[in-house]
Amino acid sequence: MSHVLAVALTSPPYAVLSYALPPGFEPGDFPPGLCLLVPMGGTVRAGMVWEAGAPPPAGVALRPALFPLERTPACDADYLELVRNLASRHLATPGRILATLLPRGMRTSRVEFVVREAGLPRRLTAKGLGKLSEADRAALAGAWRRGEVRCRLAEEASDPLCALAADPPWPVRPGAARQLAILDALCDAGPRPLSDLKKRCGDGTLPILRRLCALGLVRLDAGEGASQSDAAETVALAAGPADLPPLSGEQETALAALAPALDAPDGAARLVFGVTGSGKTRLYLELAARTLARGKRVVLLAPEVALAARLHKAAASAFPAHAPLLYHGYQPPGAREAAFRRAAGPDAPMLVAGTRSALFLPLRDIGLIILDEEHDGAFKQEDRLPYQAKEVAFFRANRAGALLVLGSATPDVKTFYAAREGHVPMVRLSRRVGSGGMPSVALVDMRAMPKLTATPGTRETGDRAGVLTAEAAAALAETVAGGDQAMILINRRGYAPLLFCLDCETPVRCPHCELSLTYHRDRERLVCHYCGYSRPHPSPCPSCGGTSFLPMGVGAEMLEEQLAGVLPAGAGVARLDRDIARRPERAEAILDDFASGRARVLVGTQMLSKGHHFPDVTLVVAADADLGRALPDYRASERTFQLLTQLAGRAGRGERPGRVLIQTRTPGDPFFAHVVSGDFEAFYELELSRRRRLCYPPFTRLGLARLSFPREYEAGFAAVAVVGQAMRQAAAPLGVRVLGPAPAPLALVAGRRRFHCLLKSPDWPAARRVFTAGREALAASGPVRFVLDLDPVDML
């Protein structure tokens, strides 16, 4: 009886297919989790052994697999169980899940084998393997077993990471359209693999990239391993750990409550509910030390790359002997693969700091997983595989018998509900460490806002400086004059969110989304923040050809410019937003400048609110606290409360008291009373009563079924109606409420019409069954996309 390998293909069609053992190999050479090459039709595909040892299907002659891509599997049984769980949850094949989780080098057939065995070819491609005789393939198997065959990416398969090396404006000619297209693509989407950039920008991309590299505007990084800066940092830290401050009494009490859970045999979860500045990071490091001492591994996660990098530095300083690993999606593919394989290495104590994707490293013997700022929406991925990092962390912690710690000053309402119900025991930190106290918070009425005028000796700023009230401007001037620092939140990117044509009296819109384009002055472009379309500015109005425009609204760029003109000379102003954070090293440099005092004022979007510690900040201003509250999203109030409370927590973290000014047009709204008092639990009770009344989580399971089709595909409307009818018929006996399908709040994006169907379900399986009924009704409906997002974060 032949030994059969069930192989999950990690490229289309992502199926699980059966193969026989290749000549010269034994069953033990192909354990589950091993990556290998297999034939399919006239091509070669990469896959993973999903199951080994099954009898052959009756009456079927199986083709043999080709060759393993690794000697021992990086992914163990627990990792395969994680893939099974994700495949079941997302109604996907294992291969499609693996294609998302595995680094490129483990899921491509574009490899070559280097052979150090006499009598055999020194180099073989994947296709070359198939041309060998059976005897040569058996001999090659023996050489592989002796360690004389090494697999590596073929030169043509190398896929370096392309990233901006300079901020806009870029010194290129206005007519250099291809150069500008590449720069815009990297600015909009962040660092991208070369293969992805070629798809976006077309043939001939590589020569233009090389020209941009020569100009110092773009960087190509193959990233075969750790970066030089990482290595230098590790050497510098090898001298010994930095002294950590002693735990406060409250921290000691919290540690005493958490530490026993490190030894829970079936895993445990805890919520650390601590005010901003209460020393949660110090508590995390103490838990990490105890976990590493047990010989286990630690995963420390943050919602943003800049925060993950700072956590990594803190961990590297505290535990230099363990050489903590930094892992996030902006690293070069080669560096991510090196980290993936290091994580799969021998079971030695290890600490990994990173963003959500670090949860998919093949770490064995995990003892502790920490999600800092657990409420943050960045822990949910929306595209490709719409997973929630908290759910993945729960699964991994339970499977490994590890402790999962969720930390926040403003927990997710669902997390806090679970804590209140006793499902996730809670530990509180109610006081700031050190001598600092909580800042005072005051509301500023924007309704009768007078024009802000320039101070003597500075240029006139005009009407557009009115984003700050006179009270906020005076407080800012006083803070800077006193030698302190200030942070100002304006949750809009770009220079102006809308450019109005004075000739045809219409805003300039994206032709693919019919949404207003945002004016980015530093790039001299109008940009769609939804599909990435951009056009140069100044340029004639696409509707009437006019050339007279009025920027309307205020973005972070404009506010940065205004402050530079209003503040006294020498008071540096810096900006931090998503456009700048596309280059992680640039975001780090800005934060370092602000931390050192070279910049006195930091302007930015919601990134300002996330976990930063600047002791000299004594003033924080929310320039427009009403932004976001009216979005068609049941979480809108929760997110605004979290944003404002976290932002307020940046003030007064040093010896001097802090002050927070929140500008709003609705100061009498009861919502703002809870913001001013910083009373999360009072806000929670108000929000929970509203959700109970309207049947939203945590009182139901929420799924969002998204349908879209090309704008010109008229049959799409009928297909949406058919899907809706099928889902409603399936929903009734399952107790699922179906709302829609209805046009999405953003009804046209990237040339596709979008419809949403909201599922309120008693459990996840029922929601999946209703979605499946709709998908089956759609089987022959052309170019209609239909995806299910369980527990959606983005409702637009």
- CA–CA separation, 356 and 377 (whole Å): 11
Distance of alpha carbon 446 from alpha carbon 664, whole angstroms: 6
Q: Which residues in the chain come in under a pLDDT of 70? A: 1-2, 155-158, 222-243, 435, 450-466, 781
pLDDT of residue 782: 79
Starting at the earlier edge strand, list the strands of the sheet with 43-54: 16-20, 4-9, 43-54, 35-40, 67-68
Q: How far is CA 418 from the centre of its chain?
A: 24
> What is the side-by-side order of every strand in the sheet holding 268-274?
325-327, 350-354, 297-301, 366-372, 403-408, 268-274, 426-429
Torsion angles phi and psi, residue 209, rounded to 5: -60, -40
Q: How do residues 5-55 score in pLDDT, each as one tens digit?
A: 999 999 999 999 999 999 889 988 999 999 999 999 889 999 999 998 877
Size of the chain, expressed as the number of residues it contains: 796
pLDDT for 461: 35
Chain-centre distance of CA 323, in angstroms?
24
Neighbouring-strand partners of residue 737: 760
In the prediction, which pLDDT does 706 show?
96
> What confidence score (pLDDT) does residue 462 get?
37
* pLDDT value for 536: 87
pLDDT at 131: 84
Print the SS3 string covering 249-310: HHHHHHHHHHHHHHHCCCCEEEEEEECCCCCHHHHHHHHHHHHHHCCCEEEEECCCHHHHHH
DSSP 8-state code for residue 76: -
